[in-house]
Amino acid sequence: AQKVTQAQTEISVVEKEDVTLDCVYETRDTTYYLFWYKQPPSGELVFLIRRNSFDEQNEISGRYSWNFQKSTSSFNFTITASQVVDSAVYFCALSEPTYNTDKLIFGTGTRLQVFP
Amino acid sequence: DAGVIQSPRHEVTEMGQEVTLRCKPISGHDYLFWYRQTMMRGLELLIYFNNNVPIDDSGMPEDRFSAKMPNASFSTLKIQPSEPRDSAVYFCASSPDRGGPQPQHFGDGTRLSIL
């Protein structure tokens, strides 16, 4: 069974639109960590955010915001007023310290294309 | 600070040849991870080390793959003999040990093509 599900394979938007990337996770651990990474066309993986399971506050960083809801096991990522430079593949990842120490379990990624 | 450094950036070789990928983690980082990325399988963790000791190699596909970390500043991933299905982008990542999983910092990857 998928531990991290990113159901949206590809999303296309026009610049300035808001877009939300979904991430649903599955874990038995009571303490766990969630991450988002960005992989632009150049190929490198860039860390965006880390959130632990005890911190359910939403986070905002510029045009980026994250909505963590334990009740639905989701950690969604919203880009407000998208720009062409946001075009990338975005990965959600889970770490379960009790079972897997520091391993990251990645979702399959969502490819975001922002058109001018 | 220098990031994770991988070499080579690109490698093209014929099947049957030995391939060695190299990684220099960020200084002071205690964890080192090797990943493989393909269209079919996405990002897969192959192996990871803590303080130079392999902790989990369950993702290593088969005996043709081996990884070493002789010291805190260097790791290799070796494929011998290589096969066309090994073609992928291989990433190395490192992270500090500060209690709880920390963000992993990735290198630029090695794009490997086996002909």
pLDDT reading at A99 higher than 70: no
- pLDDT value at B14 more than 90: yes
The tokens 């651990």 sit on which residue? Answer: A29
Helix or strand or coil: residue B43? strand
Mean pLDDT of A67-78: 95
Q: How far apart are CA B57 and CA B12, in angstroms?
A: 25
The pLDDT of residue B10 is above 80: yes
> Between these two residues, B82 and A1, which has the higher pLDDT value?
B82
Determine the distance in angstroms separating the CA of B107 from the nearest CA of chain A, rounded to an integer: 7
CA angle at residue A37 from A71 to A2, to 5 degrees? 50
Q: Does B56 touch chain A (CB under 8 A)?
A: yes
**Predicted pLDDT at A58:** 85
Q: Is B37 left (phi over 0), alpha (psi -120 to 50) or beta?
A: beta
Give the Cα separation of B57 and B61 in Å (integer).
9
As a whole number, mean pLDDT of residues A75-87 equals 97
The answer to whether A101 contacts chain B (CB < 8 Å) is yes
pLDDT at residue B1 greater than cutoff 70: no
- Residue A1 confidence (pLDDT) above 60: no
- Lookup result for tokens 């531990």: A3
pLDDT digits (tens, 9 = 90+) for A16-54: 999 999 999 999 888 899 999 999 999 999 999 999 898
Q: Tell me, what amino acid is at B20?
A: T
Residue linked to tokens 């991290």: A4
Instruction: Name every chain B residue with its beta carbon within 8 A of the beta carbon of A35.
Output: 103
Question: What span, in angstroms and rounded, lies between the C-alpha atoms of A90 and B23?
Answer: 24
CB A47 within 8 A of CB A28: no
Spell out which residues of chain A touch residue B32, defining contact as CB-CB under 8 Å. Answer: none
CB of A22 within 8 Å of any CB in chain B? Answer: no
Q: CA A113, CA A83: separation in Å to the nearest integer?
A: 9
DSSP string, A39-75: E-TT---EEEEEEETT----EEETTEEEEEEGGGTEE
Beta bridge partners of A4: A25
Q: What pLDDT score does A103 carry?
A: 83
At residue B107, does pLDDT exceed 90? yes
Give me the pLDDT at residue B78, please: 97
- Interface probe for B, chosen from A50, A103, A106 (most Cβ of B below 10 Å), is A103
Q: Test A43 with B108 for CB contact under 8 angstroms.
A: yes
Overall residue count recorded for chain A in this entry: 116
Q: What local confidence, expressed as pLDDT, does residue B60 receive?
A: 94
Q: Which of B42, B105, B108 sits opposite A106 (nearest CB)?
A: B42
User: What digits encode the pLDDT tens for the residues B15-41?
Assistant: 999 999 999 999 999 999 999 999 988
Phi, psi torsion values for B54, nearest 5 degrees: -65, 130
Q: How many A-B residue pairs are in contact by the CB < 8 A criterion? A: 52
